[in-house]
Structure 1
Amino acid sequence: MRAKTILVAEDSSTIMAMIRDELEEAGHAVLAAENGKVALQILSEGGVDLVITDLVMPEVDGLELLESARKSHPDVPVILMSGIEKSADAAVTAIRQGAADYLIKPLKEGEVRFAAESALHQVELEEQVRYLSREVRERNSFSNIVGGNHRMREIFQTIEILADTDATVLITGETGTGKEMVARAIHFNSPRKERRFVPINCGALPAELLESELFGHEKGAFTGASRTRIGKFEYADGGTVFLDEIGEIPPAIQVKILRILQDKEFERVGGNQLLRADVRVIAATNKDLPQAISRGEFREDLFYRLNVVPLHMPPLRERKEDLPLLARHFLEKANQKLKKQVETISAEALGRIMLYHWPGNVRELENVIERAVIMERGPMIARIELPSVPADHLPANGGEALADQLVMLPLERAVDGFERLYLSRVLDRFSGNIGESAHHAGINPRTLNRKMTRHELDKKQFKKA
Structure 2
Amino acid sequence: MKKGTGRLARLETRLSSLDTPLFLIDASRKVLFFNQGCEKILEWSADDIIGQTCDYAVDTDPDECESVCNLLCPPPEVFKGNKSEVPRYLLTHGGKTLPCVIRYNPLLDENGQTKLVLGIIDQIEEPHTLPTTSPSQQLHAELAALRLSLRNRFHFSTIVAQNDAMQRTLRQLELAVHSNQPIHFYGEPGTGKEHLARVVHFESDQRRKIFIPLECDKLPPRELKQTIGKIFERDYEEKMPLEPGMLFLSHAESLARDIQELILSKHQPTTVKDNVRLVTASSFSLSELLDQELILPEFYYLITTMEIHLPPLRERKEDLEVLAQHFLENENRYQEKQVSGFAPGVLSLFQNYFWPANLDELRKIIQSAFQSTSEILITQESLPLRLKTGIDARRLGPSLSPVIKPLEETLHQVEVEQILRALEQSKNNRTEAARLLGLTRAKLYRRMEALNISYDEELQS
* TM-score (ref. length: structure 1): 0.47
Q: Comparing both chains, which one has the higher relative contact order based on Cα–Cα distances under 8 Å and sequence gaps of 6 or more?
A: 2
Quick check: which has more Rg, 1 or 2? 1
* TM-score (ref. length: structure 2): 0.47
